[in-house]
Structure 1
Amino acid sequence: MSRYFLRNILVFSNTTTSNTHFVTRTMSSIPTPSHRQFQLRVDPLTGNSEWVVIEEQESQVDMFTEPLLATTSYLDMLNDSPRNRAYCDAINKTVTKPCHVLDIGAGTGLLSMMAARAMSSSNDATCSTSKGMVTACESYLPMVKLMRKVLRANGMERKVRIINKRSDEVEVGVDIASRADVLVSEILDSEFLGEGLIPTLQHAHDKLLVDNPETVPYHATTYGQLVECKHFWRLHDLVNTEANVSDGIHLVPTGFEKSLYVKPHQLAMHCDALKEEMELLSEPFKIFEFDFSKRPDSYGEAELHVKATKDGTIHAVVSWWVLQLDREGSIFYSTAPKWISCPSDMNGSLVPGAREWCDHWKQCVWFTPEKGLRVCTDEAVQLRAIHTDTSISYDFGTQSCLKEVGYQQCAARIQKSQIALPPERMAIYGDNSWRCSFIKVLSNALRKKISSICVVADDSIFLTVAIAHLSDTSNVLSFLPGLREQGARYLEDVSVANGYSMDRVAVLNKQSQLTLHDTHERLVDLFIGEPFYYGGDNMLPWHNLRFWSERTKFNSILSEDVLIMPCKGILRACAMSLPDLWRSRRSLKEIVGFDHSVVNATLGACGDLPASEESPFLPFTIWQCGDVKRLSEVFTVMEFDFMKPIHPCSGTAKFTVSGICHGFVLWIDWVLDAENSVVIPTGPDQRYWKQGVKLLSVPVEVEKQGSGADKCCLTIISTSFDPISGEMELKHIFS
């Protein structure tokens, strides 16, 4: 999750400590009595939302801070020791005398405190003199509140002045007395530009900084490498993956190849997890260089000629960046994958790569068009790189749309008439086994119905098209709660290719109760979903039980022999060794000499917490979580019977564990038919779904001293599901 969007623009976040999801926006265009922020609370089981005002009062800030910030990447970032040490060393080298230091996007105030300490340790004066000051600019009110606690805990509240504004709202002579001599900042995402680095630097150089300021970081270089990897191909090329299936359903028929597409932007991913499946087809190459001490350009191009090192098919460009934090070029930080043992800086010297797993910065993947680009050894590949204010894109000479109108204009034009799906959903829709599972159950059900009323409760365009394709007498009512008008236009576009008429398909553009008036006084025969809710990519698995909530809401218009698909959900779990993930989420004590223990509960830490506090459930794609290992068999915790209205559920499971257990991983397998013969698994072995992770406060080590289950640790976990909040609770006992 982007920390810049949390601070300055917009954030979507799911919480595990209350029944809401949150979106936060500073409504600067609305006249308000103070710097007011609005928090959008969204119920995961209904999709209903409401705006709530957040103001400076203690009670209101505390009420929203903890659940919102627990699922951000702040904790992971603060646990990144190489990053912290690099910034500390660079700030100590740069801030050597009293001066004005500006920290943009200050977060918990760590960089501000580093600067204040460096200034205080200089021989000339202390930070309290009129010549020396540190200004921390942070727009997000809950984070400002947390920063104040950190500053107080470290005796720094009088050495760092906080401004609760966006940096482009700060004015010299109004908010700060003078322009700053030094800029320290960390507003970088995995792509490098996605957190608004360029517009932030432009405004800072124009309005807030002296001429030729010192900056930390000082310089950055982005790198890339051409790779072959079929996993990348499956994530975006539905046209060709669908050509390999035989169900007769055409989600991307001829002439409508762009009807479903992945947004043309880089995908952040832990590429190390795919190293064994990759062929590296080039040496690493430089793409762009950025100088923080100068005003950056909003647009840039680089014409690259990259030599292929072996025969293969280019499926993607994998990219990363290297920071030079000091002017002299002795302090670096790299987001390179582990197979790049010594990335080079812009002068050709060797830079040690960051070796610890972290989740706040990953590598990025840019997909090549369609099936990829075939190359031969020593062939020169022409690659055009383009950067805008907030993104980097690539053109291999086949993306004429990008050449003609530019990256952002092209993306905006496509957005008006087509549907942009997450890469994982594109891969699922192209998976023959997944499609066959649904087609099998639907075909059996429709054979028993001469004329049926079918309701698609979620955003599944596949199921809507499938029913209309399989039965020429069924009427399909789709809610498409996230896709709405776009979904309706799409269904009309592909109707001819799939052999159905739109007079049998309707998208219900309303959130209210479905009535018999909508079904022409007929009861519903099929009530189905995948489940899939557009925009819910970072939801916990059980938040998809929104399908169960919807089914309950429409209970009065379901026929007695209605087919519910899926008919059941099975909550499964296993104990796992997750050392990298646990380390990245562990509670904080000192960070380069600064006490951060006051942030642990707010940021959802694990380890060294009071007995009454636990780390929250977090959504993760387990196969990308670094070093992972199963320590138990997969076991069933509880079942959700969708044939009945939604109700509280609980379950208990006993199992044995052997090894160092860092937590439990939970997911839901979706049972499609009453015979339990067709199941859609979503566990850690499945790459296209996120699982829910419950990290332990302290890892539990169980040494296996012999053979047999009696030499392992018997473990009991109990879970309960609240149908009002949509949240899950888990308790465990190691005996």
Structure 2
Amino acid sequence: MLLSIKPAISHSALRSLLPAPAVPRGNPVRKPVAGRPMSSGPNRAFQLRLDPLTGDSEWVVVEEGDWESPLEASGGFLARTSYLDMLNDSRRNRAFRLAIEKTITGPCHVLDIGAGTGFLSMMAARAMVDSGGDRKGEVSACESYLPMGKLMRRVLRANGMDRMVNVFHKRSDELQVGVDLKLHADVLVSEILDSELLGEGLIPTLQHAHDMLLVENPKTVPYRATTYGQLVESTFLWKLHDLYNNEDASDGIHLTPAGLEGIICVKPQQYAMHCNALSEEIQLLSEPFKIFEFDFWKRPDSYGETEVKIKATDNGKVHAVISWWVLQLDSEGSVFYSTAPRWISSFNTEIDSPHLPGSDDWCDHWRQCVWFIPDSGVPVSKDKDVFMKALHNDTSMTYYLQGNSSTGPNDLHLGDYQMQLLPERIAIYGDKDWRLSLSTATRNAVQQAGPSPFCVVADDSVFLTILVASLSKSSNIISSFPGLREKGTKYLQAVADANGFSMDQIKVIGKPTPCLLKDDINQGKVDLLIGEPFYHGNEGMLPWQNLRFWKERTMLDPVLSDDAVIMPYKGILKACAMSLPDLWRSRRCLTKIEGFDHSVVNEALGACGELPSSKEGPCLPYYLWQCGDIKELGEVFSLMDFDFSELIHACYGKTKIEFSRHGLCHGFAIWIDWVLDEENSITLSTGPVSRYWKQGVKLLSKPMAVCAGETTAEVEAFFDPSTGDITVNSSFMS
């Protein structure tokens, strides 16, 4: 399969940050970040080809002549971006239209950076014509990701605007006035914003545009962006970052021993999250406050800092800062767009609430952001002032709250021993039930494997490595740590004494388990193959991509003893019929958007709706609990088993289900339950019952009305061992 690390949207940012070939971090279902990866020329683009069953990845060059359609060009990647979600955001579309019509009042040169489907370019061209303009006006659309650029040309042709918009398959910092552009542009229209605002390279893009591509004092849409924040207390958010104060060590394992409290931490950054889903679990400790203001119409600074005085509105402990931004799209201040959470959707300190649209329509392309306050938080008292220092660089923002005594993730005394994990991973490591299940199953497996077992930890589980070493002092352990590598080794060295094991019994190879050679085990045999399974870097991917454990078990078969214990014992593909109106609406087929036909993009973007059955949308990963309005319409059912005592092979399953609730079925949530033991007595679920795992979601082409006790459905699934992909099909009967 093909994945991409957020291909370029033609701008100057992040050239020096092109990552090495590796598994993409986070959710792949996002709009591509501008500037990554770089285009290799006007007719080619880089993409990352990833094998989910081995973890191997490589950069490949996609040439313009290598495809018949944009869908083929991207290897289906476009269907896993958030372009579709963004184009279905009617609030965003209307706001940009109104602002462009107010800003462009005659012939001019308009530059669209990160043009995507050409939506903003077409609105700019139409505004010139509608305002009495003629062909003296010009629109230049810059889109360096070649498959997207090809798709844009289709959209332009479908709307009869291919001669009104000049398309450039380049990054904006590769454009030259006098070579590509005839003249400097009078107007800049762009939408290169992520949930934090700066992560897609807004600042370096604007800097280069103002230096090289725009006239002095240009008009811009948007005109300004303002970021806001709010102090909150939340046990859920606290557990996502403070393992030391939430770790139940009744199993005898101390992942964050005393004196090493911050050795496992989150990366100091903002995390995008649908905070509306947490509204019942959050105590607000302040009114919203302004943090930064960024003007698009002038050259921005690469660095900024400010100190904000915040009055606490209640007694409590600040666990996090929730932030969002508000766009002022026109210079007059009459058109706005906000990503604020629903409980304060109409708030703004400088404008009346009727001017600011609400955020009732769920969308996934922009969310709120969460900044975690280190340790157990900062206590505040009602009506007392709290001071927060905020900093920003080219691509991110950082907050420091007065009264936080810990240096947090930058704790110097921990040095290279500190290990940064995603918030959900930290919460899982602190979860009492999860640890009890894994500890019980591991203890049984170690006993079954013999008095001095040779054990291989097949994934990136530091917990299992420490647990096995603590349970059996005479065991020999190889930890593959294909993602953690040297960082995992140093972490183990730091916590060894506190957990009563010796590093002499552990060998970290820092590479995928199949690279294990007989020399690594002194020509012996493996008695215990164990995994959670969890692979560092797979957190944002589909749940069955951790079936990599099965692939590794198969490749290790020659070195497994005849009675080797394998944990987990099997995986069960589970599913549940769901009502998902908000998610389905965000991925429905496009028709006309503000008067422009976008139906030609539906197939490439994996839309739901009036598409041929052979062109169904892909399974996509989501935190289901964050997907707006959701409802289960039936019981959880099993689709197929993956038996890890056998070598990896193709699997097929078919199940007939009955619906137990009336409603509109939009699709199926799909996940894997890991059965840890042969007796099927201990199971770890990655389903919606846990908010720390993403589920796969297979949306229907058309929602189906179902009646309890009357409607049935037949669901079948296929697992392809050569690709690691699972195909799910369904049919309904009344």
1:119 matched residue in structure 2: 128
**Is residue 575–residue 630 contact of structure 1 (8 Å, CA) maintained in 2?**
yes
Question: How far apart are the structure 2 equivalents of 1:357 and 1:424?
Answer: 22
Amino acid at match of 2:368: Q
Structure 1 equivalent of residue 176 of structure 2: 171
Q: In structure 1, how many angstroms separate the alpha carbons of the residues matched to 2:478 and 2:264? A: 21
Provide Cα deviations, 1:354-384, integer angstroms capped at 9, x if missing partner.
Answer: 2200000011111111111111211111111
Displacement, 1:509? 3.7
Distance 1:222 1:33, change over 3 A: closer
Q: Distance in 2 between matches of 1:33 and 1:319?
A: 38
Amino acid corresponding to residue 320 of structure 1 in structure 2: W
Aligned residue for 1:701?
705
Alignment of 1:251-290 (within 5 A): 251-290=255-294
**What's the secondary structure of 2:628's corresponding residue?**
coil
How far 1:413 sits from its partner (Å)?
A: 11
User: Does structure 2 retain, via aligned residues, the 8 Å contact 1:2–1:189?
Assistant: no
Q: Say which SS state the counterpart of residue 652 (structure 2) adopts.
A: strand
Q: Which amino acid aligns with 2:696?
A: G
Contact in 1 for aligned 2:5/2:47 (Cα 8 Å):
no
Residue 503 of structure 1 deviates from its aligned partner by: 1.4
Matched-pair contact (CA < 8 Å) for 1:2–1:73: no
**Cα distance in structure 1, aligned partners of 2:696 and 2:657:** 19
Q: Which residue, out of 70, 74, 77, partners 2:83?
A: 74
- Alpha-carbon distance, 1:562 to partner: 1.3
Partner deviation per Cα, 1:570-614 (whole Å, 9 max, x = no partner): 111110000000000111111111111111111111111013210
Q: 1:630 to 1:34 in 2, by over 3 A?
A: closer
TM-score for both structures, normalised by structure 1: 0.93
Amino acid at match of 2:138: M
8 Å contact kept, 1:66–1:604: no
Structure 1 pair 16/313, CA: closer, same or farther in 2 (3 Å)? closer
On the 8 A contact 2:345/2:359 being kept in 1, the answer is no
- What amino acid does structure 2 have at the position aligned with 1:423? P
**Counterpart residue type for residue 429 of structure 1:** Y
Equivalent position of 1:718 in the other structure:
716
Which residue of structure 2 aligns with residue 55 of structure 1? 63
Which residue is 1:90 aligned to? 99
2:154 corresponds to 1:149: yes
Note the alpha carbon deviations across 1:446-479, whole angstroms, 9 max, x for none.
2342101000111111111111111100011011
SS, match of residue 518 in structure 1:
helix
* Equivalent pair of 2:714/2:732 in contact (CA under 8 Å): yes
Superposition pairs of residues 183-222 of structure 1, within 5 angstroms? 183-222=188-227
SS of 1:70's partner is helix
* Partner Cα separation in structure 2 for residue 274 and residue 239 of structure 1: 23
| CA distances 1:273-328 after superposition (whole Å, capped 9, x unpaired) | 01111111111111111111111111111211111111111111111111111111
Shift of 1:388: 1.3
Structure 1 partner of 2:731: 733
Aligned to 2:690, the other structure's residue is in SS state coil
Matches within 5 A, 1:433-448: 433-448=433-448
For residue 53 of structure 1, report the CA deviation from its aligned partner.
1.5
Partners of 1:66 and 1:601 within 8 A in 2: no
Q: Which letter maps to 1:254?
A: A
Tell me the secondary structure at the aligned position of residue 248 of structure 1: coil
Deviations 1:471-528 (A, max 9, x none): 1000110111111121122212221221111111001144454333211122111101
1:714 shift after superposition: 1.2
1:575 counterpart = 2:589: no
**TM-aligned CA distance change 1:349 to 1:276, over 3 Å:** closer
- C-alpha contact 1:14 1:71 (8 A) present in aligned 2: no
**Structure 1 residues 446 and 687: alpha-carbon distance in aligned structure 2, compared to 1, 3 A threshold:** same
Superposed, 1:271-420 pairs within 5 Å as 271-344=275-348, 346-347=350-351, 350=354, 351-397=356-402, 417-420=417-420
Return the TM-score normalized by structure 2: 0.93
In the TM superposition, what are the counterparts of 1:120-139 in structure 2 within 5 Å?
Answer: 120-123=129-132, 125-126=133-134, 128-129=135-136, 132-139=137-144
Q: What runs of 5+ residues in structure 1 fail to find an aligned partner?
A: none
Deviation of the 1:184 alpha carbon: 0.4
**Per the alignment, do residues 591 and 439 of structure 1 end up closer, same or farther by CA in structure 2, a change over 3 Å counting?**
same
> How far apart, in 1, do the equivalents of 2:6 and 2:42 lie?
22
- Aligned equivalent of 2:51: 43
CA 1:41–1:110: 2 relative to 1, 3 Å: same
Q: Distance in 2 between matches of 1:318 and 1:699?
A: 34
Kept in 1: contact 2:484–2:510 (CA 8 A): no
Partner SS for 2:702:
strand
Q: 1:25·1:37 contact (CA, 8 Å) conserved in 2?
A: no
Match of 1:691 in 2: 695
Q: What percent identity do the matched residue pairs reach?
A: 58
Q: Is the 8 A contact 1:219 1:292 kept in 2?
A: yes
Q: CA shift at 1:256, angstroms?
A: 2.8
Distance 2:147 2:334 in 1: 36
Pick closer, same or farther for the CA change 1:33–1:689 going to 2, 3 Å: closer
SS in 2 for 1:171: coil
CA deviation vs aligned residue, 1:325-367 (integer Å, no higher than 9, x gap) = 1111111111111111411153466523222000000111111
Change (3 A) 1:343 1:260: same
**C-alpha separation between the residues in 1 aligned to 2:34 and 2:141?**
24
User: In structure 1, what is the equivalent of residue 427 of structure 2?
Assistant: 427
Partner of 1:287, secondary structure, is: strand
Deviations 1:200-224 (A, max 9, x none): 1111111111111111011121111
User: Aligned with 2:92: secondary structure?
Assistant: helix
Where 1:148 maps in the other structure, the secondary structure is: helix
Deviates more, 1:530-539 or 1:394-403: 394-403
2:74 is matched with 65
Counterpart contact for 2:26–2:539, Cα < 8 Å: no
- CA deviation digits over 1:238-257, x for unaligned, max 9? 11112x33122121223333
Report if the CA contact (8 A) 1:193-1:391 is conserved.
yes
- Structure 2: state its 5+ residue gaps: none
Residue 238, structure 1, aligned to residue 240, structure 2:
no
Cα displacement (A) at 1:260:
1.8
| Per-residue deviation, 1:261 | 1.4
- CA deviations 1:381-421 (Å, max 9, x no partner) are 11111111111111013568879xxx9xx599989553221
The correspondence for 1:623, drawn from 619, 622, 625, is 625
Distance 1:539 1:38, change over 3 A: same
1:61–1:141 contact (8 Å) kept in structure 2? no
| Residue identity opposite 2:207 in structure 1 | Q
Structure 1 distance, partners of 2:721, 2:89, is 37
After TM superposition, the structure 1 stretch with the greater mean CA deviation from structure 2, 678-687 or 438-447, is 438-447
Cα distance in 1, alignment partners of residues 728 and 276 from structure 2: 31
Following the alignment from structure 1 to structure 2, what is the Cα–Cα distance between the partners of residues 542 and 490?
A: 28
Q: Residue 680 of structure 1 is aligned with which of 677, 680, 684?
A: 684
Are the structure 2 counterparts of residues 401 and 207 from structure 1 closer, same or farther at C-alpha, using a change threshold of 3 Å?
farther
1:293 and 1:2 map into 2 onto residues whose CA distance is: 32
Q: How many residues get paired?
A: 713
Tell me if the contact between 2:194 and 2:366 (Cα under 8 Å) persists in the aligned partners: yes
- Aligned equivalent of 2:528, options 522, 526, 529: 526
Q: Can you list the C-alpha shifts for 1:127-165, whole angstroms capped at 9, x where unaligned?
A: x22xx1001111211111111111111111111111111
Query: Given residue 484 of structure 2, which amino acid in structure 1 is its aligned partner?
Result: L
After superposition, where does 1:496-507 map in structure 2 within 5 Å?
A: 496-507=497-508
**What RMSD, in angstroms, separates the aligned Cα atoms of the two structures?**
2.6
1:100 to 88, 109, 121: 109
Change (3 A) 1:413 1:52: farther
Once the two structures are TM-superposed, the CA of residue 439 in structure 1 deviates from its matched residue by: 1.1
C-alpha contact 2:4 2:77 (8 A) present in aligned 1: no
Amino acid of the structure 2 residue aligned with 1:675:
E
